[in-house]
Structure 1
């Protein structure tokens, strides 16, 4: 093989998994305006590089699982890669989906009895900033590569993605699974959206761009360094205090310990190269995954947007529309994870985030909600048992028609409200279902509805009705598969009762 300028985009390494039942792309770069040929299975496709040398090869669905060798040729140069045909999934968001398997409750048990897997994963390097001269922060961000999931490397991957893969594999032992992890803890959705898109919305610009500009304006590098030093001191003091309390009270759960001593100081001070800057990771991490083709996407995020929960519906819709454009797939099936329970946030902030997630799932095509409001810990934002959530997601990924129970208002008059529970053939209850209703006098009262098969009925004159609309819910209504009814709030006098987004971005 001759050495030349031809190279494939960084996500296309050996052992990549591409969809077997869907057309897909292979991209890269070479000399400008030259012919590029791709050979895979029984296909031979060709294109020309553009004036910058970039190219994209389009392959048809292969309709069979298995392995093959990809050959890409340009002039006298050739690149080869081993390829597996299977199902591909993009896992994205912030810390709870990033949470590593090695940090979970049952990691050692997994290693002791490692499951049989035909699964591979690629972790997107967490590049925070790239300078004008190409300098990367952090320097040890590394270069991603596809790896077969094994006991030796599983500890570093997303625990939720791992458990989802195990669930899928147990139900379909012959399936080849490909997982791409693209996440970063502590991030707002605004980090994953270009600034120019945020700037088009006056509300998003005011909430996200202006605070960033104010935080970095007029400061020197010495100022930024001093702010970081002071922040690290606060973190160290907190960590020592927490460790001391746990040592002195070993019977206390981590959740209760954090409730006693407080939570880790967050966020760190903003600076021009911070990965928390608006649009930052969209330009450093998103380009790695954007050339790839996925069967489904999983988005688990929202925790760090609780300060602007009232804007999250607009922000999330913008993010999903933007990502679909970048991924070249406007019908990509997106699975939204409705946030679990967690108490230590401003009043109803997480309830508002969940409502926004419900609204987006009801508004955008091929977006479905996965409710996990029956999970979570009251004072610990990072529960260490990720198996229940990962397995639930895995069951959804296997069945594109699966859905969490969702509310749909079928009738609302002055004296009667009827709510159909979609995604349910039979309702199950854990305790007495209690709703909150707001009277025309502004008083909130508790309501126990009656049920007719999968329809709930509330008699009385209420202008607003809520179910589990709080930061730390305790769900009581489930479907026949023990999936919890999504938390929600509905209002009689507004369009779509508040269950859909009533604006466009």
Structure 2
């Protein structure tokens, strides 16, 4: 029976490549389709022909191709489950096998999202061998988009859907898999993960040309250069555009290192990129959760600036969230090995915000307010319902300034049953502002009682720069 099934699937695969009737490249055997909604389905056939699309869960639609032979339609999906088939019958018939209905997420960014579960040359991923060993799970599927650079938006990409197993998961995104695994285990539904990542890339490479031309004219000089993976728009064109409008639940993102040389620009570019994706996907303000840069290096220029740009994005862009990892950085590696924790912290955002899980913390402490009491600054935080804690560490990496704006190293103490942070310095009698984690590498010492760390922050100009969306 198994040999017969494999033969049928192999035959179907051959048929896909030769058929006149085709699905778009993201549709293939073993894929996951977003449950309980109306999904977008599209493909090609002969111009001005009729295509009937059928999902074996009980959905069907009929559509005509345009003069270029492109067809687009929608299908209603049911509750999570499967396996099902998805068929398109036009000038020929094509059948995709082993389809599941569940939750679909895009996993994208640069090398820290791209890094596979097995690790990289000389760079380990903690717990990777155990995660790989226990990865057999027919309810987790993933698609890795092959790297493609393009001046023009592409309609197809290379890649295939795979079922989670030790052989397949070893080469998939470690952060993406850890995120999906936590969702799948808790929700007990199929999870589909689409990985589209390239190392060493800036956000402008993932941003459509319309946004660059309208809002970032300084980047238009990229268009006269020979393209590479750092060129504006080329990765959006080659690796995101082919996925649109595949129906998704949301996106997770891990990037920022490639923009550290211009944090101010990134503070505008990153939100603009999110807005452009949402606009082009036409799914409204779908969830967009991202990872703040991990501590790394020695006084790297722009590093804290990018962290602040990311904090600002989280506080101002609707339906966004940020996983803070300044307690699990690695001073000598830009790719910190604790990828499982990163994926799990991203999943907390999704579980709390999108799947209605009550009672869990999903964010570390966020600066809320400050007042002066003598020579001390008293700081309070949101996202810390039971207060703040150092988790047994020494409270370090705090600085305060007076009216002159010069910052000095400061001492800190948690008081009032964990609800207030006192900060002071013997060098300043009239303090005005406090900041925390203001260098590229720290070992985070400020948390909420759920063990989630606080972002680096400054109270300077907080009300004008960090306008809270909540």
Category of TM-score, reference length = shorter chain = 0.7 to 0.9
Match of 2:194?
Answer: 180
Q: 2:389 aligns with which of 407, 428, 431?
A: 428
Matched, 1:297 2:251: yes
CA-CA distance at 1:91 after TM superposition = 0.5
Q: Is the contact between residue 321 and residue 349 of structure 2 (CA under 8 Å) also seen in structure 1? A: no
Q: Deviations over 1:170-199 (max 9, x none)?
A: 445x32111100110010001011234213
Aligned to 1:367: 320
**Could you tell me which residue of structure 1 aligns to residue 449 of structure 2?**
480
Scaled by the length of structure 2, what TM-score is found?
0.82
Counterpart-to-counterpart distance in 2, 1:489 and 1:302 = 19
In the TM superposition, 1:119-158 aligns within 5 A as 119-129=140-150, 143-158=158-173
In structure 1, what is the Cα distance between the partners aligned to 2:145 and 2:270? Answer: 21
- Paired with 1:121 and 1:198, the residues of 2 have a C-alpha distance of 30
How far apart in 2 are the matches of 1:145 and 1:20? 20
In the alignment, structure 1 residue 468 sits paired with structure 2 residue 437? yes
CA distance, structure 2, for counterparts of residue 30 and residue 302 of structure 1: 41
For these two proteins, the number of residue pairs brought into alignment is 431
User: Structure 1's 130 and 199: CA in aligned 2 closer, same or farther, altered over 3 A?
Assistant: closer
Q: Partner of 1:498 in structure 2?
A: 465
Give the CA deviation at 1:485.
1.4
Deviates more, 1:391-400 or 1:337-346: 391-400
Structure 1: 5+ residue stretches without partners: 135-140, 217-271
Partner of 1:238: none
Match of 1:442 in 2: 405
Deviation of 1:408 after TM superposition, in Å, equals: 4.3
Change in Cα spacing, 1:363 to 1:110, as seen in structure 2 (3 Å) is closer
Name the residue aligned to 1:403: 362
Bigger drift between 272-281 and 457-466 goes to: 457-466
**Contact 2:384/2:449 (CA < 8 Å) preserved in 1?**
no
**In the alignment, is the contact (CA less than 8 A) between 1:421 and 1:455 conserved in 2?**
no
Structure 2 unaligned runs (5+)?
Answer: 1-14, 424-428
Distance 1:12 1:281 in 2: 20
Say yes or no: does 1:64 pair with 2:64: no
Change (3 A) 1:487 1:117: farther
Aligned counterpart in structure 1 of residue 41 of structure 2, from 12, 18, 26:
26
The answer for the alignment partner of 1:230 in structure 2 is none
User: Is the alpha carbon distance of 1:146 and 1:451 closer, same or farther for their aligned partners in structure 2, counting shifts above 3 Å?
Assistant: same
**Alpha-carbon distance between aligned partners in 2 of 1:5 and 1:359, rounded to the nearest angstrom:** 49
Q: CA deviation at 1:85?
A: 0.6
Give the aligned partner of residue 383 of structure 1: 336
**Does the 8 A contact of 1:339 with 1:354 survive in 2?**
yes
Partner of residue 380 from structure 2, selected from 416, 419, 424: 419
Residue 114 of structure 2 aligns with which residue? 98
Q: Does 1:277 align with 2:217?
A: no
- Give, in angstroms, the shift of residue 341 of structure 1: 0.7
Secondary structure, counterpart of 1:62 in structure 2: coil
Structure 1 window deviating more from structure 2 (377-386 vs 364-373): it is 377-386
Task: Give the direction of change, closer, same or farther, for the CA distance of 1:298–1:142 in structure 2 (3 Å limit).
Answer: closer
Root mean square deviation, CA, Å: 3.1
Distance 1:112 1:196 in 2: 45
- Given that 1:373 and 1:486 are in contact with CA atoms closer than 8 Å, whether structure 2 keeps it comes out as yes
- State the Cα distance separating 1:379 from its structure 2 match: 1.9
The 1-side partners of 2:401 and 2:206 are apart by: 37
Q: Deviations over 1:401-430 (max 9, x none)?
A: 653124243465797654332254342213
TM-superposed CA distance for 1:292, in Å, is 1.2
Distance 1:370 1:180 in 2: 19
Matches within 5 A, 1:269-348: 272-344=226-298, 346-347=300-301
Q: Is the contact made by 1:405 and 1:424 (CA closer than 8 Å) also made in structure 2?
A: no
Distance in 1 between the 2:418 and 2:84 partners? 48
Q: Decide which of 65, 73, 78 is 1:49's aligned counterpart.
A: 65
> Is residue 2:20 matched to residue 1:5?
yes
Given that 2:132 and 2:170 are in contact with CA atoms closer than 8 Å, whether structure 1 keeps it comes out as no
SS of 2:294's partner is: coil
Q: TM-score, normalised by structure 1?
A: 0.77
For residue 97 of structure 1, give the secondary structure of its aligned residue in structure 2: helix
SS of match in other structure, 1:153:
helix
- CA drift of 1:457 comes to 5.0
Matched, 1:189 2:148: no
Deviations 1:114-144 (A, max 9, x none): 4545211000111124799x9xxxxxx9821
Residues 28-65 of structure 1, C-alpha deviations (whole Å, 9 max, x = no match)? 12233444332222222233333433232222341232
